[in-house]
Amino acid sequence: MKAGETVCVGNGVEETPELRTTSIATIKQWLLDERPDLEIPEESKLILYFLRTTKYNMDKTKRKLMTFIKNREKLTEWFTNRDPRRPEIQELLDIGVFLPLHQKDALNRQVVIIRTSAHDPAKHKQDNVFKVDKMILDLLLYLDETVSIDGVVAIFDMQGVTLGHALQLTPSMIKKSVESWENYPCKPKLLEFVNVPVHVNLVLNVFRSFMSAKMRERVTISRKGSKLQQSITLPLELGGNGESYSELAEYWKQTVQANAPFYAKMEENMFHL
């Protein structure tokens, strides 16, 4: 984004250069008053991204940003030891548990495929799966500022889900996952669960029970494929003629590894985003 550019962030709210500058300064001062231990580099875009997700609602920005900070500090199982060369991360990158598509949808939203049952629950911890998810989501925000404006569409492919996968998703695990999604510096615009077997309805009901009313409205469930097939080129495994899951996994593995310094800096200070 160019410094003098005006951006529409939704519901008719326009982000002008003046609004952007004064709002960032206001939130930054409030945050440093609340948490004088924080270091916020001048180039950090984290505050800006939260302002955009709330359409410049200052109270919501403060609440979501503070929840985000507390989660980053509390959930060490997700937000520490994020060196892409770690064996447990390498395995999940090879599998491709979180796969952003290269093509945006008609509304310029980032589409991501979350393969909920691609990993082996006997070998892979659910916390490590969520860690890799967040690593790639952080990288998307770092590489593409428009994700903070237009938001994310998530397709949860549940093909092949087993009881073992369901048992990993305890209510406490689901709660922290939903809270993280709702307090991240990008807007989840649609959560589409596809290839859903009947026996996982209970797990999905638990997910919805922790969601805000607005997020629940954005959830769709399909026993078969994605309804987005008409508007975007989906991977082969979802009935499209785009890249396969394995091709996408290889691309994102290489991209994550190439950005290892970014993850090291983020572990030092979350405001490097």
pLDDT at residue 1, as a whole number: 60
- 245 near 237, Cβ under 8 Å? yes
Report the alpha-carbon distance of residue 42 to residue 40 in Å, rounded. Answer: 6
Q: What is the mean pLDDT of the chain?
A: 92
For the four alpha carbons of 2, 148, 157 and 99, in that order, the dihedral sign comes to: positive
Residue among 137, 120, 139 at smallest CA distance from 180 = 137
The residue ranking higher by pLDDT, 119 or 7, is 119
Q: Cα dist. 261→65, 158, 255 in Å?
A: 24, 33, 12
CATH architecture of 87-266: 3-Layer(aba) Sandwich (3.40)
Please name the amino acid found at residue 97.
V
For 105, other C-beta atoms within 10 Å of its C-beta total: 16
Determine the pLDDT at residue 96: 97
Domain ranges of the chain: 7-80, 87-266
pLDDT higher than threshold 70 for residue 3? no
**How many CB atoms are located within 10 Å of the residue 217 CB?**
10
Other beta carbons within 10 angstroms of residue 175's beta carbon come to 14
